[in-house]
Amino acid sequence: MRETIVGWREWAALPDIGIERLRAKLDTGAHTSSLHAIDIEPIESSLGFFIRFRLDEGGPRRLQRLHCWRSVRDAGGHSSLRPVIRTELLLADRSIKIDLCLADRSRMRHRLIIGRRVLRQRFTIDCSVENLHQPNTTSGLLSRSGQTLTKTTSNPSIHRLSPVDYNLGQRAKVGASGIRR
């Protein structure tokens, strides 16, 4: 596959999450990709680990399978542990599976940051232009990822987790002090 030239800002879609059009900043200074999310809540069910979140205040809750937790350092040098989901990204007429950190980006200008891990998959950024590609459309496209669950609150086998509870797909034993045993 040959290189795709993109601007420093492009329209993107995240069909697995229900986002058909979102302006993304293509950021070579960021290692990982990040999406604005609020009310982020880890959940465990008999089907595995999930993350429930909202994209906007008062918006619908979304549920995605939790891929992992990742320590991420922000521009100010502060580290935080963030949930990561694996999802499909539509960018410049290409469909790519990406890891996407969820974080509150309400104070930031761009709700979606595409980092180097994605960009090294044959994208070249022309930083003098933006929106080289038309907005992606997801109508008629089928997602390649697994089924997304929608109902969780009525299931008694589901309970909330903290990042400490999640350890490589299994619950860690956590003592009264909050430290893993």
Alpha carbons within 13 A on the beta-carbon side of 140: 2
**Domains held by the chain: number:** 1
What is the pLDDT at residue 38?
94
Residue 143 lies in a domain: yes
Angle at 74 between CA 69 and CA 75, to 5 degrees: 160
- Whether pTM exceeds 0.75: no
Q: Is residue 104 part of a domain?
A: yes
Domain that holds residue 32: 4-38+62-148
**SS3 for 136?**
coil
70 contact partners, CB below 8 Å, separation of at least 6: 32, 81, 82, 84, 99, 101
Nearest residue to 46 (alpha-carbon basis) of 137, 164, 171: 171
Does the residue 76 lie in any domain? yes
CATH number at residue 82: 2.40.70.10
pLDDT in tens, the chain (181 residues): 678 899 999 999 999 998 999 999 999 889 999 999 999 999 998 899 999 999 988 889 999 999 999 998 877 888 889 999 999 999 998 899 999 999 998 888 999 999 999 998 889 999 898 888 876 554 433 333 333 323 333 333 344 444 444 333 333 333 343 333 3
Query: What distance in Å separates the CA atoms of residue 30 and residue 132, rounded to the nearest whole number?
Result: 21
Domain membership flag for residue 158: no
User: Is 172 part of any domain?
Assistant: no
pLDDT in the model for residue 1: 63
Is 174 inside any structural domain? no
What does the pLDDT read at residue 136? 59
pLDDT tens by residue, 101-134: 999 988 889 999 999 999 988 899 998 988 888 7
Residue 78 confidence (pLDDT) = 86
Pair 99, 32: CB distance under 8 Å: yes
